[in-house]
Structure 1
Amino acid sequence: MGALITVVVPIYNVRSYLVECLDSIAGQTYPDLDVVLVDDGSTDDSGEIAERYTSTDNRFRLIRQENRGLGAARNTGVEAAAGDYLTFVDSDDLLPPYALELLVGALEQTGSDFASGNVALLTSRGLRQSPLHRGTHRITALRTSLKAQRNLVYDRLACNKVFRRSFWDKHGLRFPEGVRYEDIPLTVPAYALAGSVDVLDLPVYYWRQREPGAELSITQRQHEVRNLVDRFAAVDSASRSLAALDRKLKDWYDETTLVNDLRIFLDLLPDVDQAYRERFRDLATDYLSRVDERVLDRLVARLRVAWHLARARALPELVEVAAASRLDATPPVVRRGGGRYLRLPLLDAGHPAAPRRLFQLGPGVRTEVHEARWVDGRLHVRGLAYDVARGAAQPWATARVFWLREATGRRRILRLPSRPRRVAEAPSSVPYGWSGFSAVVDPRRLAGRDGWRAGEWVFNVALVNPGGPQRRTLGLGDARPGLPARWVADGVRVVPYPHRAGLRLRVERPQAWVTGTRIDGNTLLVEGRALTRPAGATLRLARTAGVLWRSYPVEPADGGSVEAASVGAGAGSSPCGVGWTARIPVAELVAASGLAHWSPLVGEVGAGWRVAYADPDGGAWELPVAAGFTGARQTVGEVEVLARPTDDEVLALRVLPPGPVVHAAELADGMLLFLGELPGGQHDWGDLRIVLRQRTGADPNEVLPPDLELPAEVSAGWRVRIPVAGGSGLPDGDWLLLYRQGADASPVDLPFDVAARRSLPRDVAVAGRRLELLPDREREAIRLTPLP
């Protein structure tokens, strides 16, 4: 790449975290760094720690100034920046090794004004997905915009972004000084000002959550009046900026603040003193005076009532309603006439600021996909779909119809067989225990009368109630299901995949595929076949979809002859292409992993690349694996290199610390049995321990039980039995699967290969409890909950 990026690091009394932060910057796989450290008047030895980096690494510079706050320190860093690109790292947070390489690589490829990556929350128990970024960064979207992806208004951090310096200067971007929440007044207008932005699904920023007993971060001090004042000031500044640019964008943003940013303080009202409540009332009334009333009416009933009361300055009534409508409250639904209403205080009081219409539950459909699995050649999709006002207390409560609609071509529609399914219920205002569904897709129906052709299909659902049908595309909710692809005929694949609008199917006619991989000395050999001679073709490696990392030439094999070969399981044998080979230097993969400078954290994605085949005419597609594909696995120095298929059956390369990989999973007699291989080399795996760690929830101060450790049985491979039934079984909760070699080693993630991820049902009943496997990229978690 060669473009210089300036990394601005404000520093103030962070001696406990600073070394870890600066090491993560120094260890970036992107080398062209200009790191500006701004010591904002630290009274501990943070400045001296920073100075040590400037004396040993000429990429680091140190500026000292009197304490002026985070916004001023960042602005000082920007004024001193020398790079073509600009990013920010708070001095208690971390970057994964590939972060800047990925963000700058996207911008160099697309020309967008800035790039934004996913965010993981960092705790002492490892990493977990940032809830704010779960929806915004679910999938990679290059050259998108706020108008095209409305939920980007939830992405308010500055530190998960790389800005083009020319864009920054053109619009005079600058952080506000002397206040908290400096990011919001800058990042929200930046999204509106940008011609295009790149949104990447990989986490590029590890946002530390302070532990109990440590100094709380700003976002953990919600009860302070200054926090209240500064948060209102920040969102109001962003809202006013959007009003000057685009009124519709302002309305979208106002809606998200009332649901998210300001909802936090609304929930606190029953627990704070009268002075805090009155300050909230004054700030809320002022802010709401500039919010279109139609925005309030779009909110769910519990928030609609509360914000209308706030707008009317009805403080006692607002506190009463806030207590009954907090996130942890479950007010019941009652009938009034022909409608359904949320039973909150004032429902029948006739209060002028809270007429009954505000309490009514309007139409709406919630959908979520829990699992997609191939059984006997058919795709089974399981999830939930229900009317949020009516719920689904019985299997006959709502008639549901599922169908696929062809997105292109003749726009055919295929009705799908389905049946209701019972699911575990979380606290809710309406019962929805029978909201689950199972729908089945027979892929043969996707072929037209003239045979198979490439195309896309959209999943749709309609709920048929007495009030009429409600239709929508089948959304994914918060779930990240593993979405497996299959060869369904010779040369034809069906691929379920997540789309911003929900679940879709893609029918592919691949022009090339991979048959096997092997490591020969210092080279990873990738072997495959293509429908046309591969002269001029390349293999492209990308950490995330569409962002090129490296490309390698493809060479003809077998003399370029056409041979008979069967592409997919169950496909007929037919002439299907010429052989080819590509060579990837293993040393380049190892160097780009960043593992030489990094101790992997629990929950870290690690170094991985998806592999695509590009023909000389500019066409490119991710490289599917054929039936009988052979993967490669080899220890190289202190790491392992693996070439394995992903859930959707395309070739992926990974570099990991050497360790066990789960290859098979079984459930029998109340036990989960995991089996796998161990890497080669000189490691002694006799003290291998499988670690189960309860996953953190939304509350960073939550007290969680200690890790549970089980010794593995080690011989040629390894196995472990995890009790999931009976009094000695694993307690209820979400449990991450980790391992450690020896009692003193730090635990790391236990990776699963595709066969293991598919060998157990995602959702089964075991001795009165529901057992679910929760896939997230290359890792798994076990969820145990009581059966309803």
Structure 2
Amino acid sequence: MPELVPGLVSVIVPIYNVEPFLRDCLDSLRSQTYRDLQVVMVDDGCTDGCVPIAEEFAAADDRFTLIRQENAGLSAARNNGLPYATGEYLAFVDSDDILAAHAYETLVAALNAEGADFASGGVHRYSSRGHYSGYPHNAAITSTRLSTHVSQNHRLLRDRTIWNKLFRRSFYDAHGFEFPVGRLFEDVPVTVPAHARATSVAVVNEPMYFWRVREGAVRSITQSDNDLRNMVDRFFSVNLTRDLLTESGHHDLRRIYEEQAIWDKLSSYLKYLPGASPEFRDTFLDLATAYIAAVDPGAVDRQPARVRPQWQAIRDRRVDDLIELIDQDFRPVVKPPAQPRLESAVRRMEWRDGKLVVTGHAYVPGSVPSRFGLRLLWLSADGSGRKVPLRARPHREPTGSPAEQASGFTIELNPSALRGRAGWRGGTWTVAVAATRGIGVRRDGLRVPDDWTAPMPRQRVDAGVWVSPAIVKGRLRIKVTKSAGWLTGSRRDGDDLVLEGRLRARPKAPVRIALNRARGLVVRSVVAEVTDGPHGPAFTARLPLSGIALDDHTDNHAGGLFAQRFGVDISIGDKAVALIADDDYRQIRTVVGADEVYTTVAASGLVALCTRPAGPVVTDAQWQTGGALLLRGDAPEPVDGRLVLRLRGRRRDVTFPLRSADGRWQVLVDPSAAPSLAGPLPLTAGVWDFSFRAAGHHHETTCPIGFTDAVRTALPTSAVAPGGARSVLRPAGGERATITVEVPQRDPAAQERMRAEHFPATGRAPLRDVVLFDGASGRRFVDDQAAVLAELRSRPDAPEALWTVERGQPVPDGAAPVTYETAAWYAALATSRWVVANDDLPRWFTPAQGQVVLRLGGGWPVARFGACAVAHPLGRELIDQIESDAASWTALASPGPSATPVLREELRFDGEVLEFGRPANDLLVTADAETARAEVLRRLGLPGDTRLVLYAPTRRPMDLRKRGWSDPGRLLDLPRVVASLPPGYELLARRHPGLADDVMGLAPGVLDVSGYPSVSELLLATDVLITDYSALLADFAITGRPVVLFVPDQADFAASPGLNVDLAQAAPGPVLRTSEDVAAAMHDLSSLAADHAGAAAAFAETHRTGGDGQAAARLVDWLMTAGGREIAMSGRSGLRDAR
């Protein structure tokens, strides 16, 4: 091995077929602020465009070297790259991931701070949705420690990835670490033993590494838990790691690791077992039982309650019990809301005459609060255990409930009570409360309501000392912040940022201002000039902006991945404390290179210095009359992009144009009327984040959009829409803000009262001449109901129509909305003469005498979905719901005679079946295709001569176990397919309506049309359909246009839930199993149509669902006749002759 170069960081980057991601990875290495870098790129036999990209970097930067090998896998590439690494420090990076620009600068500093053998940095998951803290690293690295060890902190056993680490090469070589060749999860047999064998380890709780979540069909195999090799290699990795810990003598750590691995790693496969192939299931059981037999006998019984019964069943090979236990976890269960042990809330809070006055209530649920009941409040100091009693006076809140009025109180908190004998100390105090029930006492922190919007200002109580209320995990805390100095002003002077402030006393030692990324990791430090000002000693510090800002123009920077945040300390001699901002301090913002450098002040007064990409920032946010939010902002240069609202925890975006040519911009966001393909719709309830999306150098970039301190300190603010929904603009971390859309919560007790009122055992209200369309618009296509509604409204004397709706869903013209589970909905369901449903009605529903309930059967059921479904996650519960539902129907509408026997069996219905055709397909028979195409292209904003390919798969039962399993972008490689389309074609992707998220894996040329209001109109405008086991297969056959069946999971799907059509014999188009095959089929669409014309015609004839285009008319005629109502019959339906 060559002599190691002091200070050099050697990074080994294995590369295999990651062309879409490689440039971002290598850009992040080239952007490192630690310049003494060697990058060893190992081509592991790439077959895509990776090698030219790697060669480009090697030619442009002599720190990059490319070596080649035959494809041998990730472990071999890492091992083979090691001899080329000559640095004192060693790191590994996966070629689809991204490093923070300051990653190695920080890790080198952490490594050398106290002589650790290696350093681990924090990790964020990264996707098109942005980046976020995720498991397991958020559980492993919870604080910055410059010297720790896994024996002291067992959580570090979860820090098992290689690429967030920087090793001393001497330590790495001394222990002969090597990655197991030909196996997945190759990191763990290196990293876990490394933790055990190290003398000390440094961990930095700041994001150093962005771990890409592969979206769409191009997923890494380690993201494919249902893959057999994945599962086998996981067990191999765990067992190899156990052996290595044993060999190194770390028996205690081995036992902890063995137990942790069961729920932390091996339990991830449980959700796949019910629908897995026999080979997968048997292999798992063999490996799992062998593992259980090899580890501590009590390991299974000590597992968390959520997985313990499953592993006990595995141990005993009770397969049926195991499957039932797994599926129980994924069945919807209505749980009563948890009753808090102590009900408390802050009502008002304000500073009055130097005291914090808090008004609230506290009582024990289930008891009868008394105005004179015992309520105790006190302050408890975090860490020290010191307590300060608070005197509570009774207070009756006029607007509260009787319990809240009787248990109301007011306290006055004098800040001087928080001062200790030795003076003020910084710290946090919990406001605690206790109340009695009988002879028992309940204690808790005083709660702050989730909808709290009042300001929580701080109060200066002494020179350099502030007291401020804060909300931490829903409880009221009091923070005391103390500093040796405080910031009064800041300005830019040439290439320097000048900080000015005051000191508590004239210092006897030099004063320094330091920037740190984490406690103990100082990045910049300057000596401050101290002068005597009119109000006492003052300081002035000059920070060179060149050492703070980045002049980086990569897509990584534009996406916000290189944003920085520095804590600002003031030190006198050796003692450093956080710098606090004065009450009148005003934020500075200045552009340096590609960065905006700015100060920000936390609610407690702590100062931070930050950078973000120079781009749009919100400088004003005002609610308008009617509930819309007007955002105004600035931008240092012209911008042309979109403001993006992203629903937190889901994959759903709403976008608004954001353009600026003169440095100013504004966007109006109306939570009650957000743009969609179906027209303006309310935002669904939840937390929505703000981002800015724009074109990048190689791909679009999306970056969190910042809000100035002036805007954030005025938050939260709120507005109430006419429908009662409340939207709250709240401050969020990282100088951002969110909109929280809150809708009135459904009280189970109130639901029961409304149900009892409208569905009494006897004496129900009389029926009204109303048609209620009670659909599952969030789970089913609503085109059938919409077609019946349109036909109904065309009759001159039609009855009133109501439409069940939930927030965020459209209502067709001609119907009045009734919100699900409101009093109006209960009344409509009980008294409407006609109920037209396309999904389950409530199990408690029973039709009134004379009430007509028509169940629309939907399309031709290619896939089994009801009583015939094999190994469905809902099990017997599904059958019970189907039988209960069928008992309430007057008739079932079938799409055609050949579908009727299947529907009878699937839905357990032996009553009247109406074989009039599928009403949604009337449009496919009677409407003009070119007119429909023009309307679709207009809505989508596409040129009028665009041809359309639609990909619309059905959902899999696995969606109930793992969200997004049937996402179109997960199943099919959309970018590959769109790249193969002839010129002038656009690829549309539509998820099943039972999936709530936007389509993943989108690319230029692919449009998500899941929100398009009419599937029938889309089908009519589509030139080629790509689908699978969907009922759309039969619907589209009416058009006579070509169809491609993409069925990558045909064998698994045929086994569970099963098929009602033998696709091997009756498919109307080619049956393809890979994205490559689908892409190849797109090259010659004319041959595709000709080659399968006969099969398509035969399928259309056998599975006819279109009828003569009069299905809706016949159904309306039948409804009115069945309900005893005489209205104008359709002259087209021929119902009287048919009957």
What TM-score bracket applies, with the shorter chain setting the length?
0.7 to 0.9
Q: Quick check: 1:623 aligned with 2:623?
A: no
Residues 121 and 774 from structure 1, CA distance in 2 versus in 1: closer, same or farther, beyond 3 angstroms? farther
The partner residue of 1:724 within 652, 671, 682 is 671
Q: Quick check: 1:589 aligned with 2:548?
A: yes
The partner residue of 2:267 within 260, 263, 272 is 263
* Structure whose alpha-carbon radius of gyration is higher: 2
The one-letter code of the counterpart of 1:89 is: V
Further displaced range: 514-523 or 771-780: 771-780
Q: Is the 8 A contact 1:403 1:461 kept in 2?
A: yes
SS at match of 1:153: helix
**TM alignment of 1:148-163, pairs within 5 A:** 148-163=152-167
Instruction: Find the aligned partners of 2:577 and 2:177 in 1 and give their Cα distance.
Output: 38
Instruction: Find the aligned partners of 1:305 and 1:150 in 2 and give their Cα distance.
Output: 25
The one-letter code of the counterpart of 1:522 is: D
Q: Is the 8 A contact 1:372 1:379 kept in 2?
A: no
Instruction: Find the aligned partners of 1:211 and 1:438 in 2 and give their Cα distance.
Output: 53
Find the counterpart in structure 1 of residue 615 from structure 2: 659
Instruction: Find the aligned partners of 1:276 and 1:264 in 2 and give their Cα distance.
Output: 14
Residues 101 and 742 from structure 1, CA distance in 2 versus in 1: closer, same or farther, beyond 3 angstroms? closer
Deviation per residue, 1:54-88 (Å, 9 max, x gap): 23212112222222211121122233321121111
Further displaced range: 527-536 or 80-89: 527-536
Q: Is the 8 A contact 1:613 1:621 kept in 2?
A: yes
Deviation per residue, 1:77-134 (Å, 9 max, x gap): 2333211211111111111211211221222223222222222222234323324333
Q: Is the 8 A contact 1:513 1:529 kept in 2?
A: yes
The one-letter code of the counterpart of 2:547 is: E
Q: Quick check: 1:412 aligned with 2:367?
A: no
CA offset at residue 155 of structure 1?
2.5
Instruction: Find the aligned partners of 1:486 and 1:662 in 2 and give their Cα distance.
Output: 24
Residues 460 and 298 from structure 1, CA distance in 2 versus in 1: closer, same or farther, beyond 3 angstroms? farther
Residues 307 and 154 from structure 1, CA distance in 2 versus in 1: closer, same or farther, beyond 3 angstroms? same
Structure 1 spans left out of the alignment, 5+ residues: 335-339, 341-363, 386-390, 420-436, 565-576, 698-703
Answer 1 or 2: which has greater strand percent: 1
SS at match of 2:682: coil
Find the counterpart in structure 2 of residue 221 from structure 1: 224
Find the counterpart in structure 2 of residue 426 from structure 1: none
The one-letter code of the counterpart of 2:490 is: T
The partner residue of 2:735 within 760, 772, 778 is 778
Structure 2 spans left out of the alignment, 5+ residues: 395-407, 674-679, 746-1139
CA offset at residue 183 of structure 1?
1.5
Instruction: Find the aligned partners of 1:90 and 1:599 in 2 and give their Cα distance.
Output: 16
The partner residue of 2:462 within 483, 486, 490 is 490
Find the counterpart in structure 1 of residue 690 from structure 2: 737
Q: Is the 8 A contact 1:174 1:186 kept in 2?
A: yes
Q: Quick check: 1:515 aligned with 2:488?
A: yes
Instruction: Find the aligned partners of 1:719 and 1:46 in 2 and give their Cα distance.
Output: 41
CA offset at residue 620 of structure 1?
0.5
Instruction: Find the aligned partners of 1:416 and 1:281 in 2 and give their Cα distance.
Output: 62
The one-letter code of the counterpart of 2:709 is: V
Residues 66 and 660 from structure 1, CA distance in 2 versus in 1: closer, same or farther, beyond 3 angstroms? closer
CA offset at residue 666 of structure 1?
4.3
Instruction: Find the aligned partners of 2:357 and 2:136 in 1 and give their Cα distance.
Output: 30
Q: Quick check: 1:538 aligned with 2:509?
A: no
Instruction: Find the aligned partners of 1:329 and 1:515 in 2 and give their Cα distance.
Output: 56
Residues 785 and 226 from structure 1, CA distance in 2 versus in 1: closer, same or farther, beyond 3 angstroms? farther
Instruction: Find the aligned partners of 1:116 and 1:105 in 2 and give their Cα distance.
Output: 12
Find the counterpart in structure 2 of residue 102 from structure 1: 106
Q: Is the 8 A contact 2:551 2:593 kept in 1?
A: no
Residues 533 and 657 from structure 1, CA distance in 2 versus in 1: closer, same or farther, beyond 3 angstroms? same
CA offset at residue 415 of structure 1?
6.8
Instruction: Find the aligned partners of 1:134 and 1:365 in 2 and give their Cα distance.
Output: 28
Deviation per residue, 1:447-472 (Å, 9 max, x gap): 24747421545649799999988989
Q: Is the 8 A contact 2:623 2:719 kept in 1?
A: no
Residues 473 and 229 from structure 1, CA distance in 2 versus in 1: closer, same or farther, beyond 3 angstroms? farther
CA offset at residue 775 of structure 1?
1.8
CA offset at residue 157 of structure 1?
1.7
Find the counterpart in structure 1 of residue 48 from structure 2: 44
SS at match of 1:724: coil
Find the counterpart in structure 2 of residue 555 from structure 1: 529
Find the counterpart in structure 2 of residue 356 from structure 1: none
Find the counterpart in structure 2 of residue 608 from structure 1: 565
Residues 375 and 144 from structure 1, CA distance in 2 versus in 1: closer, same or farther, beyond 3 angstroms? farther
Instruction: Find the aligned partners of 1:761 and 1:137 in 2 and give their Cα distance.
Output: 31
Find the counterpart in structure 2 of residue 190 from structure 1: 194
Find the counterpart in structure 2 of residue 753 from structure 1: 708
SS at match of 1:540: strand
Residues 306 and 778 from structure 1, CA distance in 2 versus in 1: closer, same or farther, beyond 3 angstroms? same
**TM alignment of 1:364-383, pairs within 5 A:** 375-376=350-351
Q: Is the 8 A contact 1:10 1:40 kept in 2?
A: yes
The partner residue of 1:578 within 531, 537, 554 is 537
Residues 456 and 69 from structure 1, CA distance in 2 versus in 1: closer, same or farther, beyond 3 angstroms? same
Residues 527 and 493 from structure 1, CA distance in 2 versus in 1: closer, same or farther, beyond 3 angstroms? same
Find the counterpart in structure 2 of residue 640 from structure 1: 596
Q: Is the 8 A contact 2:79 2:178 kept in 1?
A: yes
SS at match of 2:306: helix
Q: Quick check: 1:231 aligned with 2:184?
A: no
Further displaced range: 596-605 or 194-203: 596-605
Instruction: Find the aligned partners of 1:381 and 1:199 in 2 and give their Cα distance.
Output: 41
Q: How many residues align?
A: 700
Instruction: Find the aligned partners of 1:533 and 1:679 in 2 and give their Cα distance.
Output: 41
Find the counterpart in structure 2 of residue 700 from structure 1: none
Q: Is the 8 A contact 1:97 1:598 kept in 2?
A: no
**TM alignment of 1:181-330, pairs within 5 A:** 181-213=185-217, 215-242=218-245, 245-326=249-330, 330=333
Further displaced range: 466-475 or 135-144: 466-475
CA offset at residue 712 of structure 1?
7.6
Instruction: Find the aligned partners of 2:341 and 2:211 in 1 and give their Cα distance.
Output: 30
TM-score norm. by structure 1 comes to 0.76
Residues 716 and 548 from structure 1, CA distance in 2 versus in 1: closer, same or farther, beyond 3 angstroms? closer
Q: Is the 8 A contact 2:144 2:519 kept in 1?
A: yes
Q: Quick check: 1:9 aligned with 2:13?
A: yes
SS at match of 2:501: strand
Q: Quick check: 1:30 aligned with 2:4?
A: no
Q: Quick check: 1:709 aligned with 2:656?
A: yes
Percent of pairs with identical residues: 33
Find the counterpart in structure 1 of residue 1133 from structure 2: none
SS at match of 1:629: coil
The one-letter code of the counterpart of 1:529 is: R
Instruction: Find the aligned partners of 1:782 and 1:248 in 2 and give their Cα distance.
Output: 48
Find the counterpart in structure 2 of residue 130 from structure 1: 134
CA offset at residue 223 of structure 1?
1.4
Find the counterpart in structure 1 of residue 1121 from structure 2: none
TM-score norm. by structure 2 comes to 0.54
CA offset at residue 219 of structure 1?
2.6
Residues 236 and 76 from structure 1, CA distance in 2 versus in 1: closer, same or farther, beyond 3 angstroms? same
Q: Is the 8 A contact 1:117 1:161 kept in 2?
A: yes
The one-letter code of the counterpart of 2:529 is: E
Further displaced range: 217-226 or 372-381: 372-381
The one-letter code of the counterpart of 1:229 is: V
Residues 98 and 410 from structure 1, CA distance in 2 versus in 1: closer, same or farther, beyond 3 angstroms? closer
Instruction: Find the aligned partners of 2:476 and 2:572 in 1 and give their Cα distance.
Output: 29
Instruction: Find the aligned partners of 1:226 and 1:129 in 2 and give their Cα distance.
Output: 28
Further displaced range: 521-530 or 745-754: 745-754
The one-letter code of the counterpart of 1:54 is: A
Instruction: Find the aligned partners of 2:94 and 2:439 in 1 and give their Cα distance.
Output: 52
The one-letter code of the counterpart of 2:214 is: R
CA offset at residue 551 of structure 1?
0.8
The one-letter code of the counterpart of 2:497 is: L
